[in-house]
Protein backbone atom coordinates (compact mmCIF):
# COMPACT_ATOMS: atom_id res chain seq x y z
CA UNK A 1 0.00 0.00 0.00
CA UNK A 2 1.35 3.39 -0.97
CA UNK A 3 0.18 6.48 0.92
CA UNK A 4 0.20 9.48 -1.41
CA UNK A 5 0.89 13.05 -0.38
CA UNK A 6 -2.77 13.79 -1.09
CA UNK A 7 -3.90 11.08 1.36
CA UNK A 8 -1.46 12.26 4.01
CA UNK A 9 -2.52 15.89 3.57
CA UNK A 10 -6.21 14.96 3.79
CA UNK A 11 -5.68 13.10 7.05
CA UNK A 12 -3.56 15.91 8.49
CA UNK A 13 -6.14 18.54 7.51
CA UNK A 14 -8.93 16.51 9.06
CA UNK A 15 -6.90 16.00 12.24
CA UNK A 16 -6.33 19.75 12.39
CA UNK A 17 -10.07 20.38 12.09
CA UNK A 18 -10.72 17.79 14.78
CA UNK A 19 -8.30 19.58 17.10
CA UNK A 20 -10.03 22.95 16.66
CA UNK A 21 -13.04 24.05 18.73
CA UNK A 22 -16.13 22.52 17.13
CA UNK A 23 -18.17 25.73 17.40
CA UNK A 24 -16.24 27.67 14.76
CA UNK A 25 -15.03 27.22 11.21
CA UNK A 26 -11.33 27.20 10.39
CA UNK A 27 -10.08 28.94 7.29
CA UNK A 28 -8.00 27.01 4.77
CA UNK A 29 -4.99 29.26 5.26
CA UNK A 30 -4.84 28.35 8.95
CA UNK A 31 -5.08 24.61 8.18
CA UNK A 32 -2.44 24.88 5.45
CA UNK A 33 -0.06 26.79 7.72
CA UNK A 34 -0.60 24.55 10.75
CA UNK A 35 0.02 21.37 8.75
CA UNK A 36 2.51 22.71 6.18
CA UNK A 37 0.25 21.82 3.25
CA UNK A 38 0.36 23.82 -0.01
CA UNK A 39 -2.82 25.93 0.01
CA UNK A 40 -3.87 25.18 -3.57
CA UNK A 41 -3.51 21.45 -2.97
CA UNK A 42 -5.44 21.74 0.30
CA UNK A 43 -8.32 23.59 -1.35
CA UNK A 44 -8.78 20.76 -3.84
CA UNK A 45 -8.74 18.19 -1.04
CA UNK A 46 -11.22 20.19 1.04
CA UNK A 47 -13.54 20.38 -1.96
CA UNK A 48 -13.54 16.58 -2.21
CA UNK A 49 -14.13 16.20 1.53
CA UNK A 50 -16.99 18.71 1.35
CA UNK A 51 -18.55 16.89 -1.60
CA UNK A 52 -18.38 13.66 0.44
CA UNK A 53 -19.99 15.49 3.37
CA UNK A 54 -17.12 14.90 5.77
CA UNK A 55 -16.66 18.67 6.15
CA UNK A 56 -18.92 21.66 5.78
CA UNK A 57 -17.88 25.11 4.71
CA UNK A 58 -19.11 28.63 5.27
CA UNK A 59 -18.25 31.91 3.61
CA UNK A 60 -17.52 35.28 5.08
CA UNK A 61 -15.25 36.77 7.69
CA UNK A 62 -15.82 33.92 10.14
CA UNK A 63 -15.99 31.33 7.41
CA UNK A 64 -13.96 28.27 6.75
CA UNK A 65 -14.27 24.54 7.24
CA UNK A 66 -15.60 22.36 10.05
CA UNK A 67 -16.14 18.64 10.50
CA UNK A 68 -19.64 17.55 9.51
CA UNK A 69 -19.76 14.94 12.29
CA UNK A 70 -17.96 14.52 15.60
CA UNK A 71 -14.33 13.47 15.26
CA UNK A 72 -14.99 10.21 17.09
CA UNK A 73 -17.40 9.23 14.30
CA UNK A 74 -14.99 9.76 11.37
CA UNK A 75 -12.47 7.00 10.68
CA UNK A 76 -9.24 7.35 8.80
CA UNK A 77 -10.62 4.85 6.28
CA UNK A 78 -13.51 7.18 5.41
CA UNK A 79 -11.16 10.05 4.66
CA UNK A 80 -8.81 7.91 2.59
CA UNK A 81 -11.64 6.42 0.55
CA UNK A 82 -12.81 9.93 -0.38
CA UNK A 83 -9.45 11.11 -1.68
CA UNK A 84 -7.96 7.84 -2.94
CA UNK A 85 -10.76 5.35 -3.52
CA UNK A 86 -10.46 1.76 -2.27
CA UNK A 87 -8.02 1.23 0.59
CA UNK A 88 -6.25 -1.62 -1.16
CA UNK A 89 -6.58 -1.71 -4.91
CA UNK A 90 -5.37 -4.73 -6.80
CA UNK A 91 -5.44 -3.55 -10.40
CA UNK A 92 -9.12 -2.59 -10.13
CA UNK A 93 -10.28 -6.17 -9.60
CA UNK A 94 -12.24 -7.71 -6.75
CA UNK A 95 -10.02 -10.14 -4.87
CA UNK A 96 -12.46 -13.01 -5.41
CA UNK A 97 -12.36 -12.40 -9.15
CA UNK A 98 -8.59 -12.60 -9.56
CA UNK A 99 -8.54 -16.16 -10.80
CA UNK A 100 -4.99 -16.98 -9.73
CA UNK A 101 -4.19 -20.54 -10.70
CA UNK A 102 -1.75 -23.27 -9.90
CA UNK A 103 1.26 -22.27 -7.84
CA UNK A 104 -0.10 -18.71 -7.40
CA UNK A 105 -3.58 -19.74 -6.22
CA UNK A 106 -2.91 -18.94 -2.56
CA UNK A 107 -2.00 -15.34 -3.45
CA UNK A 108 -5.72 -14.61 -3.47
CA UNK A 109 -5.84 -15.35 0.25
CA UNK A 110 -2.72 -13.25 0.82
CA UNK A 111 -4.48 -10.28 -0.81
CA UNK A 112 -7.58 -10.96 1.28
CA UNK A 113 -5.44 -10.88 4.42
CA UNK A 114 -3.77 -7.63 3.35
CA UNK A 115 -7.14 -5.97 2.72
CA UNK A 116 -8.53 -7.24 6.01
CA UNK A 117 -5.59 -5.91 8.02
CA UNK A 118 -5.50 -2.53 6.30
CA UNK A 119 -9.23 -2.14 6.90
CA UNK A 120 -8.83 -3.27 10.53
CA UNK A 121 -6.31 -0.51 11.22
CA UNK A 122 -7.84 2.33 9.22
CA UNK A 123 -11.44 1.62 10.19
CA UNK A 124 -10.38 1.15 13.81
CA UNK A 125 -8.88 4.62 14.24
CA UNK A 126 -10.91 7.82 14.37
CA UNK A 127 -9.83 11.42 14.04
CA UNK A 128 -10.49 11.81 17.76
CA UNK A 129 -8.03 8.97 18.49
CA UNK A 130 -5.35 10.69 16.41
CA UNK A 131 -5.89 14.10 17.98
CA UNK A 132 -5.90 12.63 21.49
CA UNK A 133 -2.70 10.72 20.74
CA UNK A 134 -4.36 7.63 22.15
CA UNK A 135 -4.84 4.87 19.63
CA UNK A 136 -7.01 1.82 20.30
CA UNK A 137 -4.98 -0.81 22.22
CA UNK A 138 -4.81 -3.29 19.32
CA UNK A 139 -3.52 -0.57 16.96
CA UNK A 140 -1.04 0.68 19.55
CA UNK A 141 0.18 -2.89 19.97
CA UNK A 142 0.87 -3.16 16.24
CA UNK A 143 2.71 0.17 16.27
CA UNK A 144 4.75 -0.91 19.31
CA UNK A 145 5.76 -4.11 17.55
CA UNK A 146 7.00 -2.09 14.61
CA UNK A 147 8.91 0.35 16.84
CA UNK A 148 10.56 -2.61 18.61
CA UNK A 149 11.95 -4.11 15.40
CA UNK A 150 15.72 -3.92 15.25
CA UNK A 151 17.02 -1.37 12.79
CA UNK A 152 17.47 -2.80 9.36
CA UNK A 153 19.82 -1.75 6.63
CA UNK A 154 18.66 1.41 4.87
CA UNK A 155 15.87 0.62 2.45
CA UNK A 156 14.83 2.16 -0.80
CA UNK A 157 11.23 3.09 -1.44
CA UNK A 158 10.84 -0.14 -3.43
CA UNK A 159 12.00 -2.29 -0.50
CA UNK A 160 9.21 -1.12 1.78
Where along the chain do its domains lie?
5-148
Average pLDDT over residues 127-137: 96
Q: What is the dihedral of CA 79, 83, 86, 89, to 10 degrees?
A: -130
Q: State whether the Cα torsion 134-132-117-150 is positive or negative.
A: negative
φ, ψ of residue 110 in degrees (nearest 5): -60, -45
- Please report the pLDDT score of residue 159 as a whole number: 54
Q: Cα–chain-centroid distance for residue 62?
A: 28
Give the pLDDT band (50/70/90) at residue 11.
very high
Give the pLDDT band (50/70/90) at residue 149.
confident
Secondary structure class of 103 (helix, strand, coil)? helix
What is the assigned CATH class of domain 5-148?
mainly alpha
Alpha-carbon gap, residue 105 to 103, rounded angstroms: 6
Q: Would you say residue 26 has pLDDT above 70? A: yes
Q: Cα–chain-centroid distance for residue 125?
A: 9
Q: Would you say residue 56 has pLDDT above 80? A: yes
Amino acid sequence: MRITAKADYALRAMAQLAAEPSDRAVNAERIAEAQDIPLRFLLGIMSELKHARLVSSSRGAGGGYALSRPADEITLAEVLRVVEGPLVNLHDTRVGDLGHKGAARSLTDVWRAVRTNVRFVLEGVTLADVVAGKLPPEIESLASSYRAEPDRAPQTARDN
